[in-house]
Amino acid sequence: MQEFLDSLGQVSAVIGAQWGDEGKGKIVDILAGHFDVVARAAGGANAGHTIVVKGKKQVFRLLPSGCLQENATVVLGSGMVIHLATLLEEIAMLKESGIDILKRLKISDEAHILFDYHKGIDAALEEGSAKTGKQIGTTKRGIGPAYADKAYRTGIRMGRLGEDLESELEERAAHVQKAFGVSVNVAEELKHLQNAEKVFGSCITDTVIDLHEMIADGKTILIEGAQASLLDIDHGTYPYVTSSATTVAGALQGLGLPPQALDTVIGVAKAYCTRVGEGKFPTEADEKTSDRLRERGGEYGATTGRPRRCGWLHIPDLLYSAALNGFTHWNITKLDVLDQEAVIPVGVESDENGEVVFEELPGWKRKTSGITDFEELPEEAQEFLTFIEERTEIPVSFIGTGQGREEMIWRS
Ligand code: GDP
Ligand code: IMO
Ligand code: MG
């Protein structure tokens, strides 16, 4: 085990290979116990990363899932958009469980503050485009508008938390009202800023310098990707994507790390596939099958509670994600959800009309929940995983067999 952990190197990234919710949080929680630092690089509270420890479920939106492991320094990187009240809630939630995260939390002074009015704009834009059937199906967490402000260079960054921002916010409020018809409660926004400054103002720092120093000191760093490769603003299924760079390149950019710093990249994919929100999904199952997978897999959004669309694994998408990210390992999650399936379709290529061609693999019709040893898996389940390895030429090193922290097969 130690040898395997060592082989992950000093800096390792965990990146979603599909449309999100692959189970990134779970493997980050497990691995964080063996890393010195866990870092989020991009995105905001659109993420919902679920951890189940001793039957207790916790969902993290901004803090990295690794924060339950008390050894780990926790970093919120420059590429993030941070909703202050949500971060305050997460800090308070941890405090209730007896964890004082403030002692080991570092927040980038370059990360952008996501205000309530960004959420208001997000909702207004979605409502407007719903009238013409063109909504994205966002999480309505204000992500697009916050990144838009960043790109317009009108954003406000965490490093300014202690400043008097009243007149600047009044100006923003007038603009937001005029441009989007969204009212801004400046007094409320100022209150969030004050609370945030009081609670975590002292955690705001130049995380780029800090990370480089930690690397120089030989500390190990685990990067927790948020969202996923097919939601990437450049390479995903545009316009049905999020507003940040979700691949490993975006993670490095979001933390200010050079490519040479990175040793390994763990691609996380479900043994099937899901998507929330609008956009293409070539291997989406028929309604009955989708309903069955959703119920078995508990496929409801961790952030919005929306039912996730369900379908099958798609090898061309895995290959595309692997190409974007240079995956060195797979974590195939939720194998147990397929336990009752008689056959398991896998999309392997497209025909001349662009239709997906499926191969049908035999199901195992036996319980795999909680199995921690590859050899104990039914032969058909082993063959299914070997099929993924052969088609992608990437080893399946971690296999999820349940929600719990211990329900994972490690294969070195
Ligand atoms: P993330 O956003 O990638 O971290 O994933 P989410 O937390 O949004 O969604 C993944 C869901 O699957 C969560 O409810 C996890 O607890 C659950 N999960 C993760 N791995 C497994 C697994 O191997 N088996 C089962 N049954 N559930 C899992
Ligand atoms: P994690 O980190 C699944 C999707 C939304 C929508 C699109 C744009 O938990 O895997 P946004 O609010 O980002 O502007 O929405 O992206 N989306 C996610 N889907 N998991 C996520 O995060 C997601 N973050 C955004 O559903 O389709
Ligand atoms: Mg999620």
Closest ligand 2 atom to residue 21 Cα is 10
Q: Which ligand is nearest to the CA of 59?
A: 1
Sign of the dihedral through C-alpha 308, 17, 317, 403: negative
Asked if residue 117 lies in contact with residue 176, where contact means CB atoms within 8 angstroms, the answer is yes
Tell me: do 242 and 306 sit in the same domain.
yes
Tell me if 233 CB under 6 Å of ligand 2.
Answer: no
Among 137, 57, 133, 143, which Cα is nearest to 306's?
Answer: 137
Verify that 238 and 159 share a domain, yes or no.
no
Distance 80 CA to ligand 2 centre (A): 14
pLDDT number for residue 133: 87
Which residue do the tokens 């980050």 mark? 28
**Alpha carbon of 273 to ligand 1 centroid (Å):** 12
Of 200, 215, 232, which residue sits at a domain end? 200
Ligand 1 pocket, Cβ-based, cut-off 6 angstroms: 16, 20-26, 48-50, 52, 298, 302, 333-334, 336-337, 400-403
Smallest CA separation from ligand 1 atom 10, residue: 23
Q: What values do phi and psi take at 217, rounded to 5? A: -80, 0
Q: In this predicted structure, what is the pLDDT of residue 287?
A: 96
Using the mean position of ligand 3's atoms as its centre, give its distance from the Cα of residue 19 in Å: 9
79 neighbors 255 (Cβ within 8 angstroms): yes
Atom 14 of ligand 1, nearest CA residue: 50
- 3-class secondary structure, 283: coil
How many other CB atoms are found less than 10 A from the CB of residue 188? 13
Q: Please report which residue ranges of 97-243 form alpha helices under DSSP H.
A: 116-130, 143-152, 166-180, 186-200, 207-216
Question: What is the CATH classification number for the domain harbouring 144?
Answer: 1.10.300.10
220 and 106 fall within a common domain: yes
Q: How far is CA 95 from CA 89, 99, 108, 266, 303, in A?
A: 10, 5, 22, 30, 21
Q: Are residues 287 and 343 in the same domain?
A: yes
Round the CA-based radius of gyration of the chain to a whole number and report it. 21
Count of the separate structural domains present in the chain: 2
CB 229 within 8 A of CB 235: yes
Residue in 24, 60, 231 to alter for ligand 2 test, most ligand atoms within 8 A of Cβ = 231
Confirm whether 21 is a catalytic residue.
Answer: yes
Residue 227, token pair as written in the block: 């969202």
CA of 156 to the centre of ligand 2 (A): 23
Nearest-atom number in ligand 1 for the CA of 407 is 23
DSSP 3-state of 72? coil
Pocket test of ligand 1: the residue of 15, 18, 24, 26 to mutate, having most ligand atoms within 8 Å of its CB, is: 26
Last residue of a domain, one of 170, 200, 230: 200
Q: What separation in Å is there between the alpha carbon of 124 and the centre of ligand 3?
A: 24
Q: Which domain holds residue 146?
A: 112-200
Catalytic residue chosen out of the listed positions 34, 49, 112, 118: 49
312-342 burial code (b ≥16 CB/10 A, e <16): bbbbbbbbebbebbbbbbbbbbbbbbbbebe
User: What is the chain's length?
Assistant: 412
Sign of CA dihedral 174, 199, 49, 151: positive
Give the ligand 2 atom nearest the CA of 226: 2
Calculate ∠ Cα 307-311-313, nearest 5°: 130
* Residues near 180 by beta carbon (within 8 Å), at least 6 away in sequence: 120, 121, 124, 125
Q: Are 175 and 225 found together in one domain?
A: no
Same domain, 257 and 330: yes
Tell whether 218 and 234 lie within a shared domain: yes
> Are residues 171 and 288 both part of a single domain?
no
Last residue of a domain, one of 152, 184, 200: 200
Q: Do residues 39 and 63 make contact, with C-beta atoms less than 8 angstroms apart?
A: no
Same domain, 391 and 315: yes
Whether residue 99 is found in the same domain as residue 196: no
191 and 212 inside one domain = no
Which pLDDT does position 304 carry in this prediction? 82
CATH of the domain at 71: 3.40.440.10
Tell me the one-letter amino acid at 132: T
- Residue 54's pLDDT is 92
Residues 118 and 104 in one domain: no
Amino acid at 243: S
Q: Are 189 and 116 spatial neighbours (Cβ–Cβ below 8 Å)?
A: yes
Quick one: which of 330, 257, 234, 244 has its CA closest to 75?
257
Q: What is the pLDDT along the chain (412 residues), one digit of tens a residue?
A: 888 999 999 999 999 999 999 999 999 999 999 999 999 999 999 999 999 999 999 999 999 999 999 999 999 999 999 999 999 999 999 999 999 999 999 999 999 999 999 999 999 999 999 999 889 999 999 999 999 999 999 999 999 999 999 999 999 999 999 999 999 999 999 999 999 999 999 999 999 999 999 999 999 999 999 999 999 999 999 999 999 999 999 999 999 999 999 999 999 999 999 999 999 999 999 999 999 999 999 999 877 889 999 999 999 999 999 999 999 999 999 999 999 999 999 999 999 999 999 999 999 999 999 999 999 999 999 999 999 999 999 999 999 999 999 999 999 7
Ligand 2 within 6 A of 144 CB?
Answer: yes
Kindly state the helix (H) or strand (E) to which residue 344 belongs, with its residue range: strand 343-350
Q: Which of 49, 54, 333 to mutate to test the pocket of ligand 1 (most atoms within 8 A of CB)?
A: 333
Distance 169 CA to ligand 3 centre (A): 31
Q: Is the CB of 46 under 6 A from ligand 2?
A: yes
- In the chain, what is the straight-line distance between the N-terminal and C-terminal CA atoms, in Å? 8
Which residue lies with its CA nearest to atom 20 of ligand 2? 20
Q: Which ligand is nearest to the CA of 20?
A: 2
- Residue 301: what pLDDT? 87
φ, ψ dihedrals at 98, nearest 5°: 85, 15
